[in-house]
Amino acid sequence: MGEPPAMPEVRDIVVRVAARIAIAVVAPSVLFATTLVVLNLAAAMLTALAWLVGAMSWRHVTGRGLSGLLVLTLTISMVKTSITLATGNSFIYFVQPVVVDVAVAAVFLGSLAWGRPLVARLAPDFCPLDVEVAARPEVQRLFRSLTLMWGLVILVKGAVTLWLLTTLSTVDFVLVKSSAILTLTVTAAAATVLWSLVVGRREGVFGCRGGHSLS
């Protein structure tokens, strides 16, 4: 049997999480909002999609592993952009995330019923865990709690998006929604990191230098 993956420093984990969110969520959102204000919806959609495709291509060319968050964001963006360009209906583009949020939240919450919390599958994208550590009761409870939290956060995100979409103009909707959803996402991510660090320190799995790439 090979050696279990060494755990990176806490600082490395925080940087890794921040980098993944910045690349897959913050950057395309900022590019979309800026391009929409300066140009139009079609240009904004294609600009955000181009960023995600470029980020995925860069990871492939440089030999970095797939990022689950980036794959999910790219897939959703491709579906939204394709349907909107095919129909020419801008409302469809903005309402699709609500449907997607409900579906993704159902997957998160449903994974609890299946006994396979989705966060357990996404965790290695941010922090390497060997089988023994991941199987510990406290870590399993963490996975279940975080899966429940993110399922509810995504449902709230969908509800806020629908409310803003039906009450604001297109440009105001994009600007307000971008800041509101980014704030919600960053807050939930920070809570996830802090909660994980508390459990990780309690379980004694943090602190040794692993020399892992932060990409």
> pLDDT averaged over the chain?
79
Residues 207 and 9: beta-carbon distance below 8 Å: yes
Cβ contacts of residue 56 below 8 Å, gap of 6+? Answer: 70, 71, 74
Residues 105 and 151: beta-carbon distance below 8 Å: yes
- Rounded to an integer, the average pLDDT of 144-150 is 89
Distance (Å, whole) CA 122 – CA 69: 8
Lowest mean pLDDT among 129-138, 164-173, 188-197: 129-138
- Rounded to an integer, the average pLDDT of 40-68 is 84
Residue 37 has pLDDT above 60, yes or no: yes
pLDDT at 214: 37
Confidence of residue 209 (pLDDT cuts 50, 70, 90): very low
Question: 156 burial class (0-12, 13-18, 19+ CB within 10 angstroms)?
Answer: middle
pLDDT at 96: 80
Residue 124 has pLDDT above 70, yes or no: no
Confidence of residue 9 (pLDDT cuts 50, 70, 90): low
Tokens of 201: 């320190």
Distance (Å, whole) CA 61 – CA 202: 38
Residues 122 and 68: beta-carbon distance below 8 Å: yes
Confidence of residue 163 (pLDDT cuts 50, 70, 90): very high
Residue 104 has pLDDT above 70, yes or no: yes
